[in-house]
Structure 1
Amino acid sequence: MKKLLIWLTALLVAVGLGILVPGPASAATSYCGLQWGSLAKAGPKFSTASVTNVRTGQHYCFDRMVVDLNGPATGYTVRYVPNIVQDGSGFTIPVRGGARLQVSVHAPSYDQKGNVTYNPRAKTELSNVSGYQTFRQVVYAGSFEGYTSVGLGVRARLPFRVFTVAGPGTGSRLIVDVAHFW
């Protein structure tokens, strides 16, 4: 017991004198090891697929939005913008949050015959994101000339990543993850 008290006293003295202190936080280390950044991201090609659904989910380190397509996903542009703008009309769509991501998928929300493949009931609330750490609102900004746009209101301008995943079946998914913190 006496040895334990001696070691504990030595440890407290070392901390008090500044001999043992934690090192400074490294700027290279980011939240959950994520190092995505917040600059625009794009995939270069147009898709022959159509948008069929938009959904969201939560992860320990980020919030996720998924755009489902009925074919291969190849083209997209995702970037922070001052306002979410409706395709075709240029009308500004109000979106909750401190920052806004405009997600433009190079795929329409209709098929080649003009039949609608995605027509959300509530265009201003595509998914209920109440209780999410980063997302504040998901809005449908329209489908015009082969593009479908979705506005994503987030808490602040945070790092994000974008990627595509094949499947299920012949479909694919465009995935946008936004980190909870830097």
Structure 2
Amino acid sequence: MNRRLAAVLVAVLAVFTFVPMASAQSTPTLSNIRTGQHDGFSRVVLDLSGLPTEHRVREVSGVANCGSGNPIAMPESAEILEVTLIGAAAHDENGNPTYTGSRNFLTPGLTHVKRVALTCDFEATLGVAVGYGNANSWHRVFTLTSPNRLVIDVGL
């Protein structure tokens, strides 16, 4: 009987040895949203604890909160760039916010970006809308490391 018990214990331990354990906070979190004006373009930076699995970018005519479906105010006649980070959040594993700044704010010091709004923080999906004033504007969205951040540039 002892041999059988020992064999079962060895088998169970072998399974647990090869099962990867989740880290304390495996989903990268948002800590800050910064903006800045550069020569020829406006920049929005999302400071993150790690990089998202992926990000998606699309131009939309309006945005809504992903949880409630309620519309989110953006400037009248603004073009809107919707950026979705897959595998990121603005809260920790216990539901505590990691980003405590404004969820919808004007950007008066920027030439091209008019408003930034947090549109989604649900099931490891983080959404941000960037309202800009000119339909002929270009945009680029990319990630950087050391520190980790997602950068959104809008210019003419």
Q: What TM-score, normalized to structure 1?
A: 0.65
Deviation at 1:65, TM superposition (A): 0.5
* Equivalence for 2:109: 131
* Equivalence for 2:152: 176
Q: Does the 8 A contact of 1:55 with 1:66 survive in 2?
A: yes
If each structure's strand is expressed as a fraction of its own residues, which one has the higher value? 2
Deviation at 1:114, TM superposition (A): 2.4
Q: Percent identity?
A: 35
Question: Which residues in structure 2 correspond to 1:1-182 (within 5 Å)?
Answer: 48-96=27-75, 97-106=77-86, 107-120=88-101, 122-125=102-105, 129-157=107-135, 158-168=137-147, 172-179=148-155, 181=156
Distance across 2 between alignment mates of 1:166 and 1:79: 23
Runs of 4 or more consecutive aligned structure 1 residues displaced over 2 Å after TM superposition: 112-115
Structure 2: which 5+ runs fail to align? Answer: 1-25
Deviation at 1:74, TM superposition (A): 3.8
Q: Does the 8 A contact of 2:37 with 2:109 survive in 1?
A: no
Counterpart amino acid of 1:174? L
Q: Does the 8 A contact of 1:73 with 1:173 survive in 2?
A: no
Counterpart amino acid of 1:82? S
Q: What TM-score, normalized to structure 2?
A: 0.74
Counterpart amino acid of 1:147? T
Counterpart amino acid of 2:85? V
Distance across 1 between alignment mates of 2:139 and 2:120: 22
Query: CA offsets, 1:66-114, max 9 Å, x none?
Result: 0110123442112110101111112111101520111212201112232
Larger radius of gyration between Structure 1 and Structure 2: 1
Distance across 2 between alignment mates of 1:54 and 1:104: 15
Distance across 1 between alignment mates of 2:41 and 2:134: 13
Distance across 1 between alignment mates of 2:50 and 2:36: 22
Distance across 2 between alignment mates of 1:131 and 1:53: 18
